[in-house]
Structure 1
Amino acid sequence: MIVSVKKSTPKGTIPAPASKSYTHRAVFIASLGKKEVELSHPLLSADTKSTMEACRLFGANVEERTDSTNETKIIIRGFDGKPKTPEKPIDVGNSGTTLRLMTALAGVADGSVTLTGDESIQKRPNTPLLKTLNEMGAEAYSENNNDCAPLIVRGKIKQGNFSIDGGMSSQFISALLLSCPLLGGDSIISIDGDLKSKPYVDITLEVAEKAGIEIKEHFKWKMTEKDGTKSEVLVYSIPGKQTYDLGNYIIPGDFSSASYLLTAGALIPGAEVEMSGLFPSAQGDSAIVEILEKAGADISWDKENGIIRVSNKNSKRLKGIVWDAGETPDLVPTLSVLGAFSDGETRITNAEHVRFKETDRLKAMATELTKLGAVIEETADGLIISGEKSKNEMKGTAVHGWNDHRIVMSLFIAGMMIGDVTIDTAESVKISYPDFFEEMKKIGAIFEKC
């Protein structure tokens, strides 16, 4: 699908969509338990439906029900920590989170489990997770010998003391943290190097704790062999033989998806946007509020009532900032657009892991914003954007959405700023924000679907 976006000014109030990250974890954790669980305000997107279907294949009863108020809820009765071996391959679609969670869980099941996904998933490496699962006693490998899906896992993994590289994706760590409590004894997972996107692990720990799971996070000193210096290592201690009991759970609003609308409200002259359902949580992407504040936006957050208001009634240009994206990789496309339309220079750093998402998002944003007239430099781990040099060069044209929901939604905001921007592969928004176009129309976005 192609979307043609005209210059438009957003005004109005929109409820934040439910968090994709929390929905993934809540569905998975509820499936690991035994009692019936009701998940309220879930995100029903292509990615979360992949997790729901995968949990069904492992033996959970997962249903969608609509209540008397027309709200859809997910009702889950889990497999009590004893996943069965799926009778067919698990197809995760485009969902990296689903792939990683289910790959670790496959190590708990008996028999052989095959996991695959779409073309994008089959290009995303899983090297650290496969390596650690093999060390834990499973036979885990890539069918094409490239550490990408299709993956084969033959259990069973056993408890012990293991380490994993934390620099590529936090999803690998979350997957192990949620499967290790089901093992017969205690486990220790040490993180090699810096843990990127740690807030996503914090979300995992938050939901696991609500399910009664004990996981201790601490640090230990490690001696470097070469020069004898010491460094701190992040460690997770996980008792075995635990039982999951999540209970009924309300999914929080999603800051990653909200970032597009909030950025539109901050950038576009005359805009006034209010979003509800955004309460403080472990989501790293709540940093969008801090980012917009640093850029000079008129923004306020009523944390008690979960309401964020942002406007640009004075039609002012924001200013460029420097942002370390180590913990906020999903904000990089949004930040790229923010930088292209702000004065001065914007630097996005520590974002090399963003290259291993649905697509190489650093390359994608540099390529597409350049088509729109932005002066942008792609570095090994980030982007340097000269909003000052781009100011009089930005104009509408056809851009490629890279079949990536976050690329499409970010470029849509650019289209609202300058007009006459057409974006292909726009159907990919269903991955995380199925109602994106409908919600944008409600607040005044002018566009056509082709």
Structure 2
Amino acid sequence: MQYSVSKSNTILGGRVVLPASKSISNRVQIINALAYSFEPIKNLSDCDDSKAMQSILFSNTNTFDVGHAGTTMRFLTAYLAKVVGEWTLTGSDRMKERPIGVLVDALNSLGAQISYLEKEGYPPLKIFGSNLTGEEVELQGDTSSQYISALLLIAPTLENGLRIKLKGKIVSRSYIEMTLNIMEEFGVKAEFKGQEIFVANQPYNRIPYTVEGDWSGASYWWSFMALADEGKLYLDGLKKNSFQGDSGLVPVFEKLGVKTQFSKRGMFIEKVATYCKKLKFDFNQMPDLAQTFAVCSCLKNIPFHFKGLETLKIKETDRIFALIKELGKLGYVLTEPAEGELAWEGERNEEEDNIVIETYHDHRMAMAFAPIAMLRSNIVIDSPDVVKKSYPNFWEQLKEIGFSVEKK
């Protein structure tokens, strides 16, 4: 299926109720399961990833398919390793290409019994859950923060607690800190000093919890506004002082011409005339927003040089490759100056005819490219349903504020 997206004018206005945070929803679901808690989780995300987590945690089988849900795969690998039983954990074809060996090795060193059913280092997994003693693991700091968060979530339930030693540069630190902050809300104390994190054996409190709105999903509305000629939009559901690292987008989008004003329940974003001539930014703390900023910068004709993108190649797709290819269809010549970097120096080629934006089973590709509709009619997005992974009603909300979204 394909969607053709267009807008009759370049003015943007209205109110958008943002989806609940997928990242927070999945962490809280694991914590509730570890605490044997039936306290309610209010505003739980209804995206595919969170639904997969919920379905599996309440399943009475021992074979689980997470589909494309990477966070669900990583968090459940750690969770099931300490739940007594024999478990099989698998996923989509793309999931079977996403490495998990670092997490499996760490868990096995703590006493887990996890083996590979197909390719070494990749799902599907066979897990023999047992009581883990814990104590200490050592990981590279530039490994996926989801591996580290998976270990942290089970850490207080391990017999000896857990000390994690991180070697070298720590990437996506904001996601690690988000995990620790949520754990603290449930009564678990941790120490994060320098390159080490220590969590003692201690119980999670059983508390009701309300999930805040998703800053990652909100980023696309800033991109729409940056490309509008004029407009003001109210975004409902975000917290100013959020645990989510992607809340760092506010000052960066100010460089692209979007002003943000906070209120009690959300914020107003408004188009302003001033913006930078070149955007240089290290996305170490919010790598999921690199696609949003790359597309927006190109469309505003703002050259850029991004760093801190080391984890993008092991996401739902190789996002570096996908950005270079799809923006190339629009004539933008992007380069990868070094590992973990992406740049556009202003070089242009001719556009392709009859452009269709491929999404590569990646929800963020679909939503990052959708704002093209502010500048050109009938942008065509292939496999638009991928947005269900994190933002199920994205296309419906576009219609509500004046966009035309039609099946091709």
Q: TM-score, normalised by structure 2?
A: 0.93
Note the 1:18-417 alignment, pairs <5 A. Answer: 18-57=20-59, 87-156=61-130, 157-219=132-194, 234-240=195-201, 242-279=202-239, 280-295=241-256, 297-302=257-262, 304-311=264-271, 319-379=277-337, 380-386=339-345, 388-390=346-348, 397-417=355-375
Name the residue aligned to 2:399.
441
Residues 200-246 of structure 1: CA deviation (Å, up to 9, x unaligned): 11221111111111221112xxxxxxxxxxxxxx1111112x22224
Name the residue aligned to 1:14.
16
Please identify, of 434-443 and 102-111, the stretch whose mean Cα deviation from structure 2 is larger.
102-111
5+ residue gaps, structure 1: 58-85, 220-233
Percent same amino acid at aligned positions?
31
Q: How many residues align?
A: 403
Give the partner amino acid of 1:52: Q
> Is the CA contact (8 Å cut-off) linking 2:333 and 2:349 kept in structure 1?
no
- 2:97 and 2:373 mapped to 1: Cα distance? 29
- 1:147 and 1:410 mapped to 2: Cα distance? 31
Residues 122-158 of structure 1: CA deviation (Å, up to 9, x unaligned): 1100121011111111222321233111012224332
* Cα 1:344–1:409 shift into 2, 3 Å: closer
SS of 2:187's equivalent in the other structure is: coil
- 1:317 and 1:205 mapped to 2: Cα distance? 35
- 1:13 and 1:393 mapped to 2: Cα distance? 34
SS of 1:418's equivalent in the other structure is: coil
SS of 1:36's equivalent in the other structure is: coil
> Is the CA contact (8 Å cut-off) linking 1:396 and 1:418 kept in structure 2?
no
* Cα 1:246–1:440 shift into 2, 3 Å: farther
Give the partner amino acid of 2:187: G
Residues 181-204 of structure 1: CA deviation (Å, up to 9, x unaligned): 112223211112222212111221
- 1:289 and 1:299 mapped to 2: Cα distance? 8
SS of 1:44's equivalent in the other structure is: coil
Shift of 1:364: 0.5
SS of 1:446's equivalent in the other structure is: strand
- 1:305 and 1:394 mapped to 2: Cα distance? 43
Shift of 1:395: 8.2
- 1:185 and 1:413 mapped to 2: Cα distance? 50
- 1:261 and 1:246 mapped to 2: Cα distance? 35
- 1:205 and 1:396 mapped to 2: Cα distance? 47
> Is the CA contact (8 Å cut-off) linking 1:92 and 1:116 kept in structure 2?
yes
Shift of 1:413: 1.2
> Is the CA contact (8 Å cut-off) linking 2:135 and 2:162 kept in structure 1?
yes
Q: TM-score, normalised by structure 1?
A: 0.85
Alpha-carbon RMSD: 2.1
Shift of 1:303: 5.4
Name the residue aligned to 2:5.
5
- 1:87 and 1:449 mapped to 2: Cα distance? 38
Give the partner amino acid of 2:86: S
Give the partner amino acid of 2:70: G
> Is the CA contact (8 Å cut-off) linking 1:135 and 1:162 kept in structure 2?
yes
SS of 2:220's equivalent in the other structure is: helix
> Is the CA contact (8 Å cut-off) linking 1:319 and 1:342 kept in structure 2?
no
* Cα 1:418–1:186 shift into 2, 3 Å: same
- 2:297 and 2:107 mapped to 1: Cα distance? 41
- 2:40 and 2:297 mapped to 1: Cα distance? 41
Residues 28-77 of structure 1: CA deviation (Å, up to 9, x unaligned): 211222343111122111100111112113xxxxxxxxxxxxxxxxxxxx
SS of 2:169's equivalent in the other structure is: coil
Residues 387-444 of structure 1: CA deviation (Å, up to 9, x unaligned): x444996987212111210001111112332223211111100000000001111111
SS of 1:161's equivalent in the other structure is: strand
